[in-house]
Amino acid sequence: MQRATALSVPQGIESLAEARIKAAMDAGEFDGLAGRGAPLRLDDDPLSRPEWRMAFRMLKNAGLAPAWIEAGKEIAQAVDLARAALAAIPDDDPKRADAVARFADQAAVLNRRIALFNLCVPAPRWARSQIDVEAEIRRIGRDRRSTGEGGRTSIPATANNDRESSSGSVGR
């Protein structure tokens, strides 16, 4: 006899979907589909407007991206560099106050760039949050304590790190 386990609604739906997909695969319901065994064509984004698809394809073929995507990458790199520079100075270093002031200045410039970037994105889901200097300083301190490093460390800014911050320190 199987023992029932409590699942959250998303887990239950996922389990049900997986079970139905597996049953359909076992029954051979997917065997006669067109394109079976061939790689998927993911050249075009089906969610993009049809009038923009050709422009996006031309940019992609040229190894480019829309200007707002390139601007977002540049901002992310600048944020990473600013975070790393601040994280490189230990809390007990006499130069720490200067590093915090420099980080605050860089954050002010980056926040202006982020505000302009947010005006260019095609949908709000790609907007970036402003840099919260105090939250960043706290996060770097937490990261140091969690890794057991009292001294120098580098803090890479990944998408996950950005989303984990409940204070909205740096973007989505």
**pLDDT tens digits along 43-102:** 666 777 788 888 888 888 888 888 899 999 999 999 999 999 999 998 888 999 999 999
Distance, in Å, from the CA atom of 4 to the CA atom of 102, rounded to the nearest integer, reads 57
Confidence class for position 156, pLDDT limits 50, 70, 90: very low
Distance, in Å, from the CA atom of 171 to the CA atom of 20, rounded to the nearest integer, reads 37
pLDDT of residue 151: 47
Torsion of CA 9, 10, 15, 16, to 10 degrees: 70
- Report in angstroms the alpha-carbon separations of 111 from 105, 120, 129, 157, 163: 10, 14, 8, 16, 17
pLDDT of residue 167: 37
pLDDT of residue 44: 67
Strands (E), 11-120: none
Confidence class for position 162, pLDDT limits 50, 70, 90: very low
Q: Average of pLDDT values for 103-125? A: 94
Q: Is 171 helix (H, G, I), strand (E, B) or coil?
A: coil
Q: Average of pLDDT values for 141-156? A: 64
Task: With beta carbons less than 8 A apart as the criterion, state whether 167 and 135 touch.
Answer: yes
Q: Is 164 helix (H, G, I), strand (E, B) or coil?
A: helix
Q: Average of pLDDT values for 15-21? A: 88
Please report, as a single letter, which amino acid is at residue 6.
Answer: A
What does the angle CA 55 – CA 127 – CA 78 come to, to the nearest 5 degrees?
95
pLDDT surpassing 70 at residue 30: yes
Q: Is 158 helix (H, G, I), strand (E, B) or coil?
A: coil
Higher pLDDT, 63 or 145: 63
The model carries a pTM of: 0.57
